[in-house]
Structure 1
Amino acid sequence: MSTNKPLTLLSLSHACVDVYQGSVAALVPFFVSERAYSYAAASGIVLAASLLSSVVQPLFGALTDKWAMPWLLPVSSLVGGAGVALSGVGDSYALTLAVVAVSGIGVAAYHPEAARMARVASRGSHTAMGWFSLGGNIGFATAPLLVATVIATGGLGASPLLVVPAVAGAALCAVALRALRAPGTATAAARGGDADGHDDWPSFLRLSGAVVCRSIVFVGLSAFIALYVRERTSGGEFAGTAALFVLYLGGAVGTVVGGRLATRHSRVTVVKWSYALSVLAVAGVVLVPGPLLYLFVALTSAGLYVPFSLHVTLGQDYLPRRVGTAGGVTLGLTVSVGGVASPAIGALADATSLQTALAPLIALPAAGWLLLRSLHEPAMPEAAPAPAPCYDPPTRVRSAPADDCRSSEGG
């Protein structure tokens, strides 16, 4: 069975799981309109989904560096979906915060092990990892449409229908893991805690700091862009949903472009230019009025997402002995941690205006560029010409000679 099949299945499951990262922000306008939440209260829901996720994500990464935990993938998919599905049930603000926090934990549990398995299936290729990341971007992009279709039709009380992608994601994970266990599907770049190489923590921490800056911009815009565009264009709910869709869809395009660019230029160079260009794009979102605003939303999305999959492979190559931790941080923690800043943006918007509250986001890509300026390109993992490591689900991912793999399979 081709290694492309497990990677495709993992990418599709990533799309199903990341629907729930995008769904929380997509639900914000409906919480504001149906429950009369203030900007600060609505952004508190985004914080609830992000805070526990941010705290526990490194823990899951560290655990997957020591033990393979493939069962986490289907279980975390179901947990992430269940939390969002219950968010519209009842009118209790505390209950809503609790269930979206549970959803955030599910999403946090998924990403480190999924990133490890995607690395196994892709032989460590950053281009292939781009396709895995694209799955998540597509999930983000479809979240506003899914939420709008379900909630606009049946109100917040229809939110249990949002569990459907989670069930599909769990099934895809199960099939992908079965494919990875099949003879001949293990690949050569499964580098875990027993990998060769030196962990470059200073470079990894600078990279992580830059991704945090990017995360605050993206999550801040995700939480408020629908409301902001409705104000700036005098449009209705569709205008806001369309803007959020453009923000997420541009990310899918940016991820593909980033992988292509990285085959011609160094990853660090592509990431630096992306952050620099994002400064102008975010400024356009904040300052340009009218329908032209949609163009700058798309440019901002592309600029923020061109480096997305490159963050993951750079982080894994800076920490070759801790790829679970690296994947958990670059693919998960620094994505969700932006939600921590959302209440501050919401409180400032309540006190002034949304435009004033979003204006500080212009400076953050510039801060990220400064952190990236001194980074070097890490060594790329070498892909072996034939399958080498064995994947044994009860134990950890390990490297072994091909002959050992065949003998363990009875061949």
Structure 2
Amino acid sequence: MSTHQTAVRSTASLKLLSLSHACVDIYQGAVAALVPFFLAERAYAYAAASGIVLAASLLSSVAQPLFGALTDRWPMPWLLPVSTLAGGVGVALSGIGDSYALTLAVVAVAGIGVAAYHPESARIARLASRGSHTAMGLFSLGGNIGFATAPLMISAVIATGGLRASPLLVVPALAGAALCVAALRSLGRSAPAAASASAAARAAGKDDWPAFLKMSGAVVCRSIVFVGLSSFLSLYARQRTGGGELAGTAALFVLYLGGAVGTVAGGRLATRYGRITVVRWAYALTVPAVAGIVLVPGPLLYLFTALTSAGLYVPFSLHVTLGQDYLPRRVGTAGGVTLGLTVSIGGLAAPLIGAAADATSLRTALAPLIALPALGWLMLRTLHEPAMPEAAAPAPTPHHDTSPSPGP
């Protein structure tokens, strides 16, 4: 197969993977979007409702690095369609019956499905993209679109038919599984060449665990902010704007939709200024944006939500490629942690925020989120741009600067 044909196949498979990523991440966003409906139909307290978010996050946060370690040893492309179906079926069953325990169990299954998808899909996306952070941005963009679509899909289905209409939510999973199969077939014969390049990069690379752990700590801070806002922004927007259900759904949609813009902008900015510099600036600028959500009343909440979304999502795909470049010998583990553990671990904080809201007010409970991006920025302050082995390095671009930069 010619180099041109290989590139065409890789690009096609990456686009299909991005679409499948959108279908899977609908189910990450769906759990938080279901919270207001559990509160309304089942009269759950804030803490009980956020426990559902915890159920999706807890097993997912534990399972993702385990799946990452497994895919480092044994490629498991079959996991993509299987995990997609597991995520969809779990969420689809969450509205069946009134049992809180059953709801927790099926949402946990959804969390495991999402956990199984991300490390292997990130590994395959890296093969298809040859380590390009711009191309990885396309893959991440799919997930962000899925997040943005989740509240709209939940509102359309559940607001119309109630929680008992939740089986209809399995449809994106069916589409996503088909897309995964198509992506793997499209990659086809170009996979061995890409895998050989990846193996050469692993052999030449050296894992930098201290840098990886610092970056992972920053991503945890980002995750807590994102999951906290995802879980309660809909309710908070209703309180702060005096609007109804539509006002809450709109705020959550803005939070997720900004991810599409932020992810694309992150890849392009990193090409020009370097990944570390862009990530630092994103964390720094997120601090006043989150403060605006919590402290500024009225419709301006939507403006600050959009700014927060951009700040949280600009570094999203850059976290993935940085993590894989810090751990070139363990790209599955890196993908499992950056796309999985550090992201889903934010769900562990959701019950604490819910309990604080029950005891005080939702505004008071959300206030600590203002400080977390600043803490993440401090962790990133001493990071350096990883030195990529030549076999893994993407083709140079005119303005790409990979030299260490002091950042903001």
Q: What range is the shorter-chain TM-score in?
A: over 0.9
1:402 maps to which residue?
none
1:349 aligns with 2:379: no
2:240 maps to which residue?
232
8 Å CA contact 2:254–2:306 kept in 1: the answer is yes
- Which of 269, 272, 276 is the aligned partner of 2:280? 272
1:72 maps to which residue?
79
Structure 1 Cα separation of the partners of residues 219 and 191 of structure 2? 36
- Which of 254, 257, 260 is the aligned partner of 1:249? 257
1:178 maps to which residue?
185
1:167 maps to which residue?
174
Structure 2 Cα separation of the partners of residues 129 and 275 of structure 1? 20
- Which of 357, 374, 377 is the aligned partner of 1:369? 377
Query: What 5-or-longer segments of structure 1 have no aligned partner?
Result: 387-411
1:103 maps to which residue?
110
8 Å CA contact 2:219–2:343 kept in 1: the answer is yes
Structure 1 Cα separation of the partners of residues 131 and 289 of structure 2? 32
Pairs aligned (count): 386
8 Å CA contact 2:132–2:393 kept in 1: the answer is no
Pair 1:283–1:94, CA change in 2 (3 A):
same
Q: Tell me by how many angstroms 1:191 deviates.
A: 4.5
Q: Which amino acid aligns with 2:346?
A: G
Pair 1:189–1:254, CA change in 2 (3 A):
farther
Cα deviation 1:242-267 (Å, max 9, x = unaligned): 00000000011100000010011110
1:208 aligns with 2:216: yes
2:344 maps to which residue?
336
Structure 2 Cα separation of the partners of residues 123 and 293 of structure 1? 40
8 Å CA contact 1:115–1:324 kept in 2: the answer is yes
Q: Tell me by how many angstroms 1:192 deviates.
A: 8.3
| Mapping 1:129-144, distance limit 5 Å | 129-144=136-151
Pair 1:167–1:349, CA change in 2 (3 A):
same
1:52 aligns with 2:65: no
Aligned to 1:103, the other structure's residue is in SS state helix
Structure 2 Cα separation of the partners of residues 191 and 10 of structure 1? 21
Structure 2 Cα separation of the partners of residues 174 and 205 of structure 1? 34
Query: What 5-or-longer segments of structure 2 have no aligned partner?
Result: 395-408
Structure 2 Cα separation of the partners of residues 50 and 265 of structure 1? 34
1:145 maps to which residue?
152
174-183 vs 86-95, greater mean Cα deviation: 174-183
8 Å CA contact 1:118–1:129 kept in 2: the answer is yes
8 Å CA contact 1:192–1:321 kept in 2: the answer is no
1:379 maps to which residue?
387
Q: Tell me by how many angstroms 1:382 deviates.
A: 3.6
Cα deviation 1:261-291 (Å, max 9, x = unaligned): 0011110110001000000100000001001
Percent identity of paired positions between Structure 1 and Structure 2? 80
1:81 aligns with 2:88: yes
Structure 2 Cα separation of the partners of residues 183 and 192 of structure 1? 16
Q: Which amino acid aligns with 1:134?
A: L
2:401 maps to which residue?
none
- Which of 199, 220, 223 is the aligned partner of 2:231? 223
1:305 maps to which residue?
313
Structure 2 Cα separation of the partners of residues 116 and 189 of structure 1? 13
1:4 aligns with 2:11: yes
8 Å CA contact 1:349–1:356 kept in 2: the answer is yes
Structure 2 Cα separation of the partners of residues 327 and 183 of structure 1? 22
1:407 maps to which residue?
none
Q: Tell me by how many angstroms 1:142 deviates.
A: 0.2
8 Å CA contact 2:218–2:375 kept in 1: the answer is yes
Cα deviation 1:30-83 (Å, max 9, x = unaligned): 000111111000000000000000011110000000010000000000000000
8 Å CA contact 1:19–1:142 kept in 2: the answer is yes
2:127 maps to which residue?
120
- Which of 197, 205, 209 is the aligned partner of 2:205? 197
Structure 1 Cα separation of the partners of residues 301 and 255 of structure 2? 11
2:403 maps to which residue?
none
Pair 1:49–1:274, CA change in 2 (3 A):
same
Q: Tell me by how many angstroms 1:182 deviates.
A: 2.9
Q: Which amino acid aligns with 2:225?
A: V
Structure 2 Cα separation of the partners of residues 381 and 305 of structure 1? 27
